[in-house]
Amino acid sequence: MAYNLNFDWLSQAAEPIARGAVATVGLIAVTAVLGTACSILGAAAVRSRSPLLRRAVGSYVELIRNTPFLLQLFFIFFGLPSLGLRLDPAIAATLAMTINLSAYGTEIVAAGLDAVPNGQKEAGRALGLRSAQVFIKIVLPQALKVIFPALQSQIIIMMLESAAVSQISVRELTYEADMLQARSFRAFETYFIITMVYLALSFCLRRLLGFTGRKYLIGAAP
Amino acid sequence: MMDFTFWDILRNLLLATRWTILLSIVAFIGGGIVGMAILLARVSARHWLRRFAELYIGLFQGTPLLMQLFLVFFGLPLIGFRIEPWSAAALALTLCASAYLAEIWRGGVEALPKGQWDAAKSLGLHYPNQMRLVILPQAFAITRAPVVGYLVQLVKSTALTSIIGFDELMRTSNAIANATFEPLTVYGLVGLIYFVICRPLTLYARHLQLVGQAR
């Protein structure tokens, strides 16, 4: 039996697809900001002088990096309610994504901190800056410059993994795709179009992050 | 309703784990074989081959694995193949892994000094032998750490195949969580199982990286 591809449904699908894409972009935007902030805190903790802090954050990183994102999502959304903590799907998804991104981000930022020569810290202290000031004004900007490409890739990977949050009915791109294919009975065509939308999103996100990174991070004098 | 003891839960989860492990192994081997072909195209002298490999890698690294799973699962029946979740999962993961492995190995090939190519040429080797005897063994050797690191990603991404209905660890855990009303215990145990599989690989990758840096 020959199969004819049929894209007639597409004219009515533009709106849900756009809605889903906006939701996906919104999720990753919030996650990227929160995740980067947490990564910086995490990296500061992992490279701090307190063994307790190093241990605690180190275990968190290992735990998250060695378990699937889908499991983390289900643990938060289906598991936490039995402890009395019921979260809205969008909140649960943002939380899971932030937790996941922060674990990878912590390792990335920590590697960046290692890449800053010790002399920079000593110079900062010699200038009479306190250690918090040395970290924020001298070490961190240089570290971020080094690790920006890796962080950018990790954010894009997280956006692609966010397709899984449709499983807890967050109304993002994959969720809209599921709805569309249920209505049009054109599963392959629907998922094909949505895949292309994701491809465009990851392409644009890479360009956007690269542009902002160059403008505000790489171009800026340390 | 059936009553599950803790041991029932654990036993069922462990039984499902073999599918997770089997799928990971199949996808890793398949991905390695297809990835080799993509790698050869990616570093070939022919422009259109390089372009094709670039597009292939860009496509699989730029779209969610979940979409790739759906496309294989819903796409193959359209061209006349009946497909169960198991083959769809194995095929999609193989394709995805091949793109990542090809890209990792390309990094290895490009990290080699140009002199290696010249030396191979001056020994009178033809292109296939330059590749087989000189370039690829070195490229594989220096990319061992990222390859093992990718294996961890691969094991974790098998969890997504539960969504197209492949009965591995994640899908089994959902079923058990629904039946027992003990999601915390079940997902906690599942996390532990994934951790026990992945953590040694992570440590091994880190070890390989340190050894590589020390050389």
Using one digit for the tens of pLDDT, what is the confidence trace for A63-118? 999 999 999 999 999 999 999 999 999 999 999 999 999 999 999 999 999 999 99
CB-based burial label for B58 (10 Å; 0-12, 13-18, 19+): middle
A6 interface with B at CB cutoff 8 Å:
no
Contact B205, B149 (CB under 8 A): yes
pLDDT band of A2, cuts 50, 70, 90:
low
Of B58, B74, B170, the CB nearest to A68: B170
| Mean pLDDT (whole number) for B116-135 | 93
Q: At what angle do helices B183-214 and B144-157 cross, to 10 degrees?
A: 170
| Mean pLDDT (whole number) for A166-174 | 95
User: Contacts of residue B66 in chain A, CB cutoff 8 Å?
Assistant: 163-164, 174
Size of interface A-B (CB pairs under 8 A): 116
- Cβ separation of A71 and B62 shorter than 8 Å? no
Return d(Cα B73, Cα B93) in angstroms, integer.
12
Contact A203, A165 (CB under 8 A): no
B75 interface with A at CB cutoff 8 Å:
yes
Q: What pLDDT, on the 0 to 100 scale, is given for residue A184?
A: 86
| Mean pLDDT (whole number) for A131-154 | 92
Of A65, A195, A203, the CB nearest to B67: A195
- Whether the pLDDT of residue A37 is over 80: the answer is yes
Of A71, A194, A198, the CB nearest to B190: A71
Return d(Cα B24, Cα B27) in angstroms, integer.
5
pLDDT digits (tens, 9 = 90+) for B37-83: 999 999 999 999 999 999 999 999 999 999 999 999 999 888 888 88
- Whether the pLDDT of residue A163 is over 60: the answer is yes
Contact A67, A73 (CB under 8 A): no
Q: How many angstroms from the chain centroid is the CA of residue B13?
A: 22
pLDDT band of A10, cuts 50, 70, 90:
confident
Contact B48, B109 (CB under 8 A): no
Contact A96, A165 (CB under 8 A): yes
- Cβ separation of B191 and A203 shorter than 8 Å? no
- Cβ separation of A65 and B66 shorter than 8 Å? no
Nearest residue to B59 (alpha-carbon basis) of B49, B50, B68 = B68
- Cβ separation of B68 and A195 shorter than 8 Å? yes
Interface of A with B in 50-109 (CB under 8 A): 62-63, 65-72, 74-75, 78-83
Contact B76, B88 (CB under 8 A): yes
- Nearest chain A Cα to B185, which residue? A79
Interface of A with B in 157-176 (CB under 8 A): 160-164, 167, 174
B195 interface with A at CB cutoff 8 Å:
yes
User: Contacts of residue B156 in chain A, CB cutoff 8 Å?
Assistant: 66-69
- Cβ separation of B63 and A198 shorter than 8 Å? yes
| Mean pLDDT (whole number) for A3-15 | 81
Interface of B with A in 116-135 (CB under 8 A): none
Q: What is the DSSP letter of A116?
A: S
| Mean pLDDT (whole number) for B159-187 | 94
Flag the least confident range among A2-16, A66-80, A117-131, A201-215: A2-16
Enter the tokens of residue A58: 């180190």
User: Contacts of residue A1 in chain B, CB cutoff 8 Å?
Assistant: 80
CA dihedral B167, B172, B173, B176 (to 10 degrees): 160
- Cβ separation of A167 and B63 shorter than 8 Å? no
Interface of B with A in 155-174 (CB under 8 A): 156-160, 162-163, 170, 173-174
pLDDT band of A222, cuts 50, 70, 90:
very low
Give chain A's mean pLDDT. 92
Please report, rounded to a whole number, the percentage of residues in chain B having pLDDT higher than 70.
99
Return d(Cα B80, Cα A1) in angstroms, integer.
8
Enter the tokens of residue A218: 């790489």
Contact B178, B3 (CB under 8 A): no
Contact A103, A38 (CB under 8 A): no
A104 backbone dihedrals φ, ψ, rounded to 5°: -70, -40
CA angle B191, B193, B194 (to 5 degrees): 65
A118 interface with B at CB cutoff 8 Å:
no
**Is A153 strand, coil or helix?**
helix
Return d(Cα A5, Cα B4) in angstroms, integer.
47
Tokens 């953590």, residue located = B199
Of A63, A70, A198, the CB nearest to B160: A70
- Whether the pLDDT of residue A50 is over 90: the answer is yes
